[in-house]
């Protein structure tokens, strides 16, 4: 090693922090949990934000629903409808939830919660028990829904062209106006704005 800086990481230290779970199941701890246990924990620790059936509440994320509508307008993206790998739920819930009290769930509790979220998404039966052993067997509906970034082939050839400078359009019409939507925080709105007629209906988009 060129600099000789730092110190060797101890096995216990690596174990404490290296908790990521990969799509093939590497990183899963020993343990198991079933849907009904998961439901109880969920009701207790999760439902306040995510809804009793993981359907979401207000602006808090929905974890269930939305299946088979990814090609529709404004799809609902949830663990069931969108997430390609079950590993992601285990990894994320174990390290980051419940929000405000992260890292407090045991491995068995996380298995149970993931089982319950699968159940809420109609992906397993009420009797289902999730464990390290059967984790890989769970089929995620949108597992094949992702492709690698293809902007280089799909977009760059279109945009890497000489820009038009004159007579680029026949006519120009205003088709949409933010003012008609009126969702800009008021304290930041400009002092004077003209009174004009709304042009089109627009809607708030989803979170960043």
Contact set for another protein, span 21-80 (CB under 8 A)? 21-24, 49, 58-61, 70-75, 77, 79
Query: In whole angstroms, how close is the CB of 86 to another protein at the nearest point?
Result: 10
Q: Please tell me the distance from the alpha carbon of residue 147 to that of residue 145, in angstroms, as a whole number.
A: 7
Looking at the Cβ atoms of 106 and 196, the one nearer to ligand HEC is 106
Looking at the Cβ atoms of 158 and 208, the one nearer to ligand HEC is 208
Closest CA to 75 of 62, 84, 66: 66
Q: Please tell me the distance from the alpha carbon of residue 49 to that of residue 99, in angstroms, as a whole number.
A: 9
Looking at the Cβ atoms of 125 and 171, the one nearer to another protein is 171
Out of 127, 137, 153, 194, name the contact with another protein by CB under 8 A: 194
Q: Please tell me the distance from the alpha carbon of residue 25 to that of residue 18, in angstroms, as a whole number.
A: 14
143 binds, among another protein, ligand HEC, Ca ion, none (CB under 5 to 8 A by kind): none
50 binds, among another protein, Ca ion, ligand HEC, none (CB under 5 to 8 A by kind): ligand HEC
Looking at the Cβ atoms of 12 and 127, the one nearer to another protein is 12
Looking at the Cβ atoms of 19 and 36, the one nearer to another protein is 19
Asked if residues 109 and 32 have their Cβ atoms less than 8 Å apart, the reply is no
Q: Is the dihedral of CA 36, 40, 45, 47 positive or negative?
A: positive
Residues that bind Ca ion (CB under 5 A): 18, 20, 74
Cα within 13 Å of Cα(196), Cβ side = 13
Q: Please tell me the distance from the alpha carbon of residue 124 to that of residue 127, in angstroms, as a whole number.
A: 8
Query: In whole angstroms, how close is the CB of 98 to ligand HEC at the nearest point?
Result: 4
Residues in the interface with ligand HEC (CB under 6 A) total 17
Q: Which two tokens stand for residue 130?
A: 């999730």
Q: Which two tokens stand for residue 150?
A: 């293809």
Residues forming contacts to ligand HEC in the complex (CB under 6 A) are 45-46, 48-50, 60-61, 63, 79, 89, 92-93, 97-100, 113
């Amino acid at each position: 090693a060129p600099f000789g800086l730092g110190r060797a990481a101890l096995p216990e230290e690596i174990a404490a922090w290296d908790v990521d779970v990969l799509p093939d199941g590497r990183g899963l701890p020993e343990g198991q949990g079933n849907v009904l246990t998961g439901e109880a924990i969920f009701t207790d620790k999760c439902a306040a934000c995510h809804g009793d059936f993981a359907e979401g509440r207000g602006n808090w994320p929905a974890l269930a629903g939305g299946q088979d509508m990814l090609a529709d307008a404004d799809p609902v993206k949830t663990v069931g409808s969108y997430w390609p790998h079950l590993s992601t739920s285990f990894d994320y819930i174990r390290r980051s939830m419940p929000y405000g009290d992260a890292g407090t769930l045991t491995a068995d509790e996380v298995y149970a919660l993931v089982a319950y979220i699968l159940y809420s998404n109609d992906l397993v039966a009420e009797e289902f028990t999730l464990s390290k052993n059967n984790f890989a067997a769970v089929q995620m509906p949108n597992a094949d829904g992702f492709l690698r970034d293809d902007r280089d082939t799909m977009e760059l050839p279109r945009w890497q062209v000489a820009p038009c400078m004159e007579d680029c359009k026949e006519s120009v019409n205003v088709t949409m106006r933010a003012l008609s939507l009126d969702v800009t925080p008021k304290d930041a709105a400009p002092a004077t704005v003209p009174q004009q007629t709304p042009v089109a209906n627009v809607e708030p988009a989803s979170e960043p």
